[in-house]
Structure 1
């Protein structure tokens, strides 16, 4: 079985509208400011956190969170 690669989480802060749903879905990964806007710096995560990262991205109504594969 092939080893699964990690992922990179990239947040487009200009698209974020402060819904804060991402932080509800993935509180360990997402950082918000006092108004609820995502201020998460680009993250490289191991494969075991990829599901949580994808849930955060999928929860964003603005599509401000992208998940990229690492190491391909």
Structure 2
């Protein structure tokens, strides 16, 4: 499984970063950076939480 970012949709709110800081972060310009796209079993809960809290639905699991 992997996490997919719809970059044009992302507004840089940072809620996903709070939910899954081990998987993603906002850079100095407020752009979301995925530190890991491919997810292991231990990452699924955090990734799911990040997807759910995004107010513009810029993240999805595939």
Structure number with larger C-alpha Rg: 1
Give the TM-score of the pair, scaled to structure 1.
Answer: 0.76
* Equivalent residue in structure 2 for 1:14, among 8, 13, 33: 8
Higher helix fraction: Structure 1 or Structure 2? 2
Instruction: Give the unaligned 5+ runs of structure 2.
Output: none
Give the TM-score of the pair, scaled to structure 2.
Answer: 0.86
- Report runs of 4+ in structure 1 exceeding 6 Å deviation: none
CA contact (8 A) 1:23 1:31 kept: yes
Number of residue equivalences: 62
Instruction: Give the unaligned 5+ runs of structure 1.
Output: 1-6
